[in-house]
A and B are shown apart, each in its own frame.
Chain A
Amino acid sequence: MKLSLNWIKDYVNIPDSMDLSKFAYELTMSTVEVEGAHDIKKSFENIVVGEILEVNPHPNADKLRVCRVDTGDDAPHDIVCGGSNLAVGMKVIVAAPGAWVRWHGEGEPVEIKNAKLRGVASYGMICASTEVGLADLFPLGEDHEIVDLSAFDVKAGENVATALGLDDIILEIDNKSMTNRPDLWGHYGMAREIAALYDLELKKIEPYSVPAGIDDFKIVIDDEDKCPRYIGVKLEGLAVKESPFELRARLWKVGLRPINALVDVTNYVMMAVGQPTHAFDSDMIQDHICVRRAAEGEQLELLNGKKLSLRSDDLVIADAKEAVALAGVMGGVKDSILPTTQNVILEVANFESTGIRRTALRYDNRTDASTRYEKAIDPERCDLALSLSMELFAALYPEMKVVAYADNYPKKLTPAEIDVSYDWLDRRLGKHLTQDEISHKLGLLGFSVEFNGDNMHVKVPSWRSTGDVSIKADIMEEVARMYGYENFEASSITTSFSGAINQLDKSLVRNIEEYLAYRCGMQEVLTYPWMKEDFVKAILQSTDGILTLPTPPSPEEKYIRSSTLPNLCQAVVKNERYYNEFAIFEEAQVADAEMVESGYDATEKLPRQRRKIGCAFAEKTNKLEDITLFFRRVKGIFEQMPRYTHMESFRFEKAEKPVWADNVAWLNIFVGETMVGSLGLLSKKASMACGIKNLAVILAEIDTELLVPFKSRTNGFKRLPEYPVNDYDISMLLDVNVTWEQIKSSVLSKKRELLRGVDFVDEYRGKQIPEGQKSVTIRLALGADDKTLTSEEIEACAAAVIKTLKKDLGAEVRGK
């Protein structure tokens, strides 16, 4: 919201000595966020009043003129101008070199420089209203028309802002910071707050005194809860005309467009006291005013041309015949101010906040009025608005007659009263304030306090009683902010130490993340909790059991993440443009449609949600053996994971093929008998459906809630061998279907004293190997605790192993 400092000063005498930035800072600290203080004069630097002395033709252009202009300098300047209304003696706006203007009122501001126009030097330019941001005050008539200031008492050379009385400071207040303070939505309310903060005097707005003997105006309120108060005044002898410049200038400064005097008064009052009002053409109103719920389907065309079909919980203002306005939101087009209006019914009313908000939202029709009503305005404020309105109308229309009046106020506001323990306040503030200090600070804000022993009985002023201040913590806040948050001394935090924080599950997940990132060279990503339909279909192949959003970010992204993999594949596609080898992971929560009890509230059921870590490894790999190596490298990451992250180890087994996986290259991951995840090569079909072009992709996903962290590090220690351990390589031919697992268990099947272990070395298939067979090389580790082995002992042990392999698996040794 924009506030004019001069306007605030109408109501509170802020000393001129007040430093503006300090003022803005203090207001920010204690009340609302001041986002900026804008000096209007600054945007009119080098923009001055000029008086045209001569208008001469331009030697090279028919549509341009060369004007000799007095701009207050020692000698007049020549300015080239294409204005259609140029005349000698006319007072105009001159943007001298150094001024910033918007060229033809469009685009970004540009700086004016001395320049030649079609060969003639021009000292800046003579401006149209749009070029200097004054279009609302000087509506652009015909094209190429410049602003004529001849009617104003201004002198050549004066700064335009000063000359027109536009000189002011505009405070930009962050609306978000005052949603809970309906009392501040107007200059008077802000002045009241400032008066309290600085202990200054606030100018009183005297209530309107209703002239004796005028008619009673009939107002029927059908729904008192929705309309606690309605004041109607019938005025005659008015007319639609332009408001005085000063009034228009005020509206312009706070960002409103002047329209005509009748409408301008209602807007002025709203900006002054924060109370919306409305003016009806009383000749259009049939008989009386009725505030009621709309009939279902009742029609109303608003001032902005929107045609509404109303619902029964919309509140309308109606006459004897039909709805004439959407209460608190906007007037109807038929009955509001018309060009011919002479007689007016002025509405100053209070409406309940949530109804107004709902209605405004329903028709996507939020207005300055509805924004204020939404905040819950106190009905007492109607008095301020009425008084100010009547004063303005009387000043603008001296011949005006007040012919009828009524104040229908069925639901009086009860100001809040709150009891607060003085001792409680003391402890919570962490700062001792005397009763006098408290009474004084609260008193400035309009609260009254009575002390009775430890009890403080606080009466809240009406303008803070619509929900804003209702409990004792609110009172504490008022005291604290009046005292100034910065004035409380820092106090240290006391803690009762009750043992070290040891959260194994949290540490485990972090260990895994760090293992993947720092040991395995993977990049962590974050993606959205929803999945794109293409990827859901490509990876999960079915949308069954997946929760959806009724209002998704885009129609194809309605699926709530049930697996981390679709989004990771989407990320693979995205990054394929830039990289041909990368690996990413994401730790995220996934959900499915199955409902389970939340365990927090007996009645609460939530979708089943689990935390997962998903991984995607991508490499540009075409050769078969490279893909199998790629698979083994990825498998290695998961084989080693438990060791590095301190949890129960993994077992790999084919139990349940993931739908996205290649038919052969996949494994499930087990901890004990529990399946905790899977890894696998993304099938060609799924890969193509994702739109992956050249990359082989391996995916993996584990459920981190099923992992079992160790309570501490469980590594044992192996004594270093005193005598050499010998490597003994064996290469053998085997049937292609024999697995390493089979070889390993065959080697280890018999207890052999000298055998310390067996490792896989390599596998080969090719020219020298018969069809249907493969060559596998393994490495035995042989040694003894008490001696160095002789070659005979080594050979004997190896021979025994080979014999077993031959017997178990039909291995045919190719040599050492």
Chain B
Amino acid sequence: MNEKLQKIREDGLAAVASAKNEIELQEIKVSFLGKQGGVTELLKELPKMDPSLRPEMGKKINEVKNELSAAVESRREEIKLKASEIPEDFDITLPGIAPLSGGKHPIKQMRDDLNDAFRSMGFEIFEEDEITSELYAFDKLNFPPNHPARESMDTYWIEGHDKGEANEKLCLRPHLTGGSVRYLQTHKAPYRFVYPGRVYRNETTDARHERAFYQYEALIVDKEFTFASGKVMIQSILSKVFGREVPVRMRAGFFPFVEPGFEIDMGCLVCGGKGCSVCKNVGWIEVMPGGTPHPNVLRSAGLDPDEYTGFYVNIGLDRLVMMRYGVDDVRLFNSADLRFLSQFH
């Protein structure tokens, strides 16, 4: 009988330990401790035993009964802890549900990145009116009176304000630089500011040309500033925006409002400078003109060009954003097409 009890104990503990869920556990409990369970059957046999041995055996059986009961309860707790309310066939691979899906325009994102970068270098942000007079669009910028850019084929003049003196002729600003002069006039040197904004040119549009584009101008005017410092500035800004070292080169270029003027190129990020279709196989992309503000521009701001110098760049954001994402048609930016814009969260 003792052997039988020991066997029931071992089988019972093993069965309890292997129970996978509460239902199984309940069945095991019944098969050992239930009315017809092994332990109960043994207890039923107890009266047939030698009375002298009964108390001893009874005690042992009760001990096993208690031990098994405790094992069942502790296993029940274990199973509860592991259990889930969720059916096992819940498809965990179903797609997540997206949060609100808005976003800023990719060019404005670039503008904000640049604003942050320049602000970290102590630059102020400046904004000005989009309709300006010829006085500020051209005259104060050292554009000769008959410069081609003044023609209506390049500039959008305003009806009823397209004749007369320079201060009476109005246009949609063809560049930002005229607005910069307004800043110079109303602030005290030294200056350090950026001027983001849209500009407009009367052009035929195609995948690479737009009538409205976003420019970003940065201007430093100070008593000492060499163009070698300008190169460092450009390099640090571009590296911050693109998140890696961007090679920069400055080469001879000509713009009326700077002297000397530069074309500033950045190493093509698509091919790493080896040459590809994006950079027309030269490994460099023209990103901005720049240079030292022309003495006449400084003079129109009331500064002595012998005393002051500086550095100016004008970054074409459309081009830079095209580069950032590999966009191949500049017209998409002004399309308001959500299929395009919603790609840039």
Query: Which chain A residues have a beta carbon within 8 Å of chain B's beta carbons?
Result: 28-33, 35-36, 177, 179-181, 354, 357-358, 361, 424, 427-431, 471, 473-474, 476-477, 480-481, 485-486, 488-497, 501, 503, 506, 510, 513-514, 516-529, 547-553, 558, 560, 567, 570-571, 574-575, 578-579, 582-584, 587, 589, 591, 598, 600-601, 603-607, 609, 611
The reply to whether A474 and B259 form a contact with Cβ atoms under 8 Å apart is yes
Do residues A490 and B232 form an inter-chain contact, with CB atoms below 8 A?
yes
Instruction: Report the minimum CB–CB distance from B267 to chain A (whole Å).
Output: 13
CB distance from A131 to the nearest CB of B (A): 26
A357 touches B122 (CB 8 A): no
CA distance A614 to B247 in the complex (A): 40
Tell me how far the C-beta of B178 lies from the nearest C-beta in chain A, rounded to whole angstroms.
Answer: 10
Sorted from nearest, which 10 A-B pairs have the closest CB atoms? A521-B100, A430-B226, A477-B260, A571-B336, A473-B259, A180-B254, A525-B336, A521-B102, A548-B159, A524-B105
Interface size class of B (residues with CB under 8 A): 35 or more
Complex: A53 Cα to B139 Cα, angstroms: 72
**Chain B contacts of A36 at CB under 8 A?**
280-281
Interface segment among B24-32, B51-59, B87-95, B144-152: the answer is: B144-152
Q: Within 8 Å CB of A491, what residues of B?
A: 226, 228-229, 232
Question: Of B6-14, B62-70, B74-82, B127-135, which binds chain A?
Answer: B127-135
What are the residues of chain B within 8 A of A358 when measuring CB–CB? 146
How far, in angstroms, from A469 to B214 measured CA to CA in the complex? 32
With A and B bound together, what is the CA distance between A430 and B309 in angstroms? 12
Contact A485 B250 (CB under 8 A): yes
Given contacts A503-B124, A529-B172, A600-B186, contact A33 B263 (CB under 8 A): yes
B131 A609 Cβ-Cβ under 8 A:
yes
A509: nearest residue on chain B (CB-CB)?
Answer: B127
- At the interface with chain A, which of B33-41, B42-50, B238-246, B337-345? B337-345
Determine which of A486, A495, A601 lies in contact with B122 in the assembled complex, contact meaning CB atoms within 8 Å. A495
Q: Determine which of A497, A550, A570 lies in contact with B162 in the assembled complex, contact meaning CB atoms within 8 Å.
A: A550
B309 contact set on A, CB distance < 8 A:
428
- Given A180-B254, A473-B294, decide whether A525 and B131 contact each other with a Cβ distance below 8 A: no
**A523–B103 touching, CB < 8 Å:** yes
Within 8 Å CB of A514, what residues of B? 104
How near does chain B come to A196, taking the closest CB pair, in angstroms?
Answer: 13
Q: Which residues of A contact B172 (CB under 8 A)?
A: 529, 549, 560
Contact bitstring B256-299, A, C-beta under 8 A = 1, else 0: 00011111000000000000000011100000000010110000
B333 at the interface (CB under 8 A from A): yes
Q: Please report the C-alpha to C-alpha distance between residue A87 and residue B47 in the assembled complex, in whole angstroms.
A: 132
User: Which chain A residues border B157 with CB–CB below 8 Å?
Assistant: 549-551
Flag if B249 contacts A517 (CB, 8 Å). no
Given contact pairs A427-B224, A430-B226, A578-B338, A481 touches B131 in the complex (Cβ within 8 A): no
Q: In the complex, which residue of chain B has the Cβ closest to the Cβ of A572?
A: B336
16 A-B contact pairs sorted by A residue (CB < 8 Å): A30-B252, A33-B251, A36-B280, A357-B146, A428-B309, A495-B121, A521-B102, A523-B102, A529-B198, A551-B157, A552-B156, A575-B338, A591-B131, A600-B186, A601-B167, A606-B132
| Distance between A30 CB and nearest chain B CB, rounded to angstroms | 6
Q: How near does chain A come to B332, taking the closest CB pair, in angstroms?
A: 10
Closest to B118 in A: A501
A744 to B247, CA, bound (A): 64
Query: Per-residue 0/1 for B98-133: is the Cβ within 8 Å of any A Cβ (1 yes, 0 no)?
Result: 011111110110001001000101111101011111
In the assembly, what is the distance between CA of A609 and CA of B129, in Å? 7
Contacts of B165 in A (CB 8 A): 603
Question: Is the CB–CB distance between A528 and B334 below 8 Å?
Answer: yes
Q: How far is the CB of A568 from chain B (nearest CB, A)?
A: 8
Task: Tell me whether B229 and A492 are in contact (CB under 8 A).
Answer: yes
> B108 near A606 (CB under 8 angstroms)?
no
Given contact pairs A480-B260, A501-B119, A591-B129, enumerate 4 new A-B contacts (beta carbons under 8 Å).
A497-B122, A524-B341, A574-B336, A601-B135
Residues of A within 8 A of B102 (CB): 516-518, 520-524, 583
Q: Are A578 and B158 interface neighbours, CB within 8 A? A: no
| Whole-angstrom CA separation of A567 from B335 in the bound complex | 11
Q: Is the CB of B133 within 8 A of A598?
A: yes
Q: How far is the CB of A32 from chain B (nearest CB, A)?
A: 8
Task: Name the CB-closest residue of B to A485.
Answer: B250
Which residues from chain A contact B85 at a C-beta distance below 8 Å?
Answer: none
- Decide: A560 and B158 in contact? CB cutoff 8 A: yes
Query: How far does the alpha carbon of A49 sit from the alpha carbon of B132 in the complex, in Å?
Result: 64
Partner of A553, one of B103, B211, B342: B211
Cβ distance A460 to chain B, nearest Cβ, rounded Å = 15
**Contact in complex: A551, B260 (CB < 8 Å):** no
Q: Which of B211, B282, B333 gathers the greatest number of chain A CB atoms within 10 Å?
A: B282
Chain A residues near B305 (CB-CB < 8 A): 473
Residues of A within 8 A of B160 (CB): 547-548
A488-B228 contact in complex given A473-B294, A548-B159, A600-B186, C-beta closer than 8 Å? yes
The CA of A490 and the CA of B234, in the complex, are separated in Å by 11
Residues of B near A605 (CB, < 8 A) are 167
Measured between beta carbons, the chain B residues less than 8 angstroms from A571 are 336
| List of B residues within 8 angstroms of A574 by Cβ | 335-337
Q: Which of B115, B132, B282, B334 contacts A526 (CB 8 A)?
A: B334
Query: CB of B327 within 8 A of chain A?
Result: no
Q: Are A513 and B104 in contact (CB under 8 A)?
A: yes
Task: Report A-chain residues with C-beta under 8 Å of the C-beta of B339.
Answer: 578
